[in-house]
Amino acid sequence: METLKRWNWQQDDWPHFRFDANRLAALEEKFLRAAGVFFGSFKHLANESRAPLEVELLSEEAVKSSEIEGEMLNRDSVVSSIRRQFGLATDHRRVPPAELGISQLMAELHREFEAPVDEARLAHWHSLLMNGRSDLEKIAGYRLEGDPMQVVSGSLHDPKVHFEAPSCSAVPSEMSQFLDWYARTGPNGPDGLPILTRAGLCHLYFVSIHPFEDGNGRLARALAEKCLAEGLGHPVLIALSATIHRGRKTYYEMLERANKRNEVTEWLLYFAEAILAAQAEAQTWVEFLIEKTKLFDRLRGLLNKRQEKVLLRMTREGPAGFQGGLSAENYLAITGASRATATRDLQELVEMGALVRSGRLKGTRYRLAFLI
């Protein structure tokens, strides 16, 4: 009896993905324009602002990529580790293995974006992602023989199989084909693809093979970002995993649909839009840091130490701002000032145009003026 060809890798046309390039063309152009704007804005940042932006976005990418897969990392440890990777001052904390591994991976992706992708590099990345794990049969190598690799939900008695990967015995040949495709479709390859198209196909192709016992989603997103960097010719700083994390239900639904056929236009449109949203979020960070620099330049010599400490604490929250707005109680907790001093300090910050006040009495809140 013929096996039911349920998954993309079982289809006769695998792995020859089909898509409507015309429907993607406008998104590709939008990406290139926005990349140029971001690169120009980034170059205009003061040197002391560039490194914090890199650390912030790489840390966010590391934390959210893990959260998509249900692994919760300590963000402060990730930040500390990434700062260490870039030779920046840190709090010298002891970083747990998982946070250390993914931080090293993010730093390598950023610094070595032009390095070729081969089995050795993928194995190295996997070893970083699985740092500290002792529950896996194989780390830094393709999965071993055993039960079929499946993505399932529901009860043990009535599971729903969302996807089943190729058998372990097929993985080496599938990955050899994938690595050849990756090299051929790159900027200097004979079959070069547009940047967003290649990134979306790379992600889907890799997770469809599911070559490792764990970590495939995180590695697929890392490879997609590497495709973007290779296409642009410089490292990328985007909040891709944060964007996917906010809509992860849609992400998994789109993957499940794409895993059943090799006409993948809808997947590529979804993934391209996710990248554009991530790109816009990164641009927001650049503009935030430019405004922050302007604010502190304008107020240089006018702030007392308490006011400076509070503004620094508020700007640490990024474009989202201080959650719920800064209250007088927050000011007291941050500075240790008396209530009368806090009231005077806050009034001065409003008069200087640093903060905007809203609400009344106990509901009074303060927000950074340039975020209003």
Domain locations in the chain as residue ranges = 14-288, 301-371
Query: Strand, coil or helix: what is 93?
Result: coil
Confidence band of 334 (pLDDT split at 50, 70, 90): very high
Domains 14-288 and 301-371 share a fold: no
Which CATH superfamily is 14-288 part of?
Answer: Fido-like domain (1.10.3290.10)
pLDDT in tens, 147-156: 778 877 766 6
Enter the tokens of residue 275: 């990248």
For 338, the 3-state DSSP assignment is coil
218 CB contacts (<8 Å, ≥6 apart)?
A: 65, 66, 68, 69, 102, 129
Burial code of 195-225, b = ≥16 C-beta within 10 A, e = fewer? bbbbbbbbbbbbbbbbbbbbbbbbbbbbbbb
Instruction: Enumerate the β-bridge partners of residue 368.
Output: 355
Q: Is the pLDDT of residue 314 over 60?
A: yes
Confidence at 48, pLDDT banded by 50, 70, 90:
confident
Q: What is the pTM of this model?
A: 0.88
Average pLDDT, the chain: 93
The pLDDT of 200-222, averaged and rounded, is 97
Compute the average pLDDT of residues 229-243. 93
For the cut 80, the answer to whether the pLDDT of residue 159 exceeds it is no
Bridge partners for 18 per DSSP: 263
Provide CB contacts within 8 A for 150, sequence distance 6+.
161, 162, 163, 164, 165
Distances 21 to 24, 35, 195, 199, 202 between C-alpha atoms, Å: 5, 20, 12, 14, 16
70: left (phi over 0), alpha (psi -120 to 50) or beta: left
Which residue bears the tokens 């508020």? Answer: 314
Q: Enter the tokens of residue 236.
A: 């990328």
For the chain, give the longest Cα–Cα distance: 84
Q: What pLDDT, on a 0 to 100 scale, did the predictor assign at position 156?
A: 65
Q: Which CATH class is domain 301-371?
A: mainly alpha
Share of the chain above pLDDT 90, in %: 79
299: helix, coil or strand?
coil
Quick one: DSSP state of residue 92?
Answer: -
Which of 317, 313, 319 lies closest to 291 in space, CA to CA? 319
Q: What pLDDT was estimated at residue 1?
A: 39
275: which residues sit within 8 A by CB, 6+ positions away?
A: 31, 196, 199, 228, 238, 240, 243
pLDDT tens track for 105-148: 999 999 999 999 999 999 999 999 999 999 999 999 999 877 77
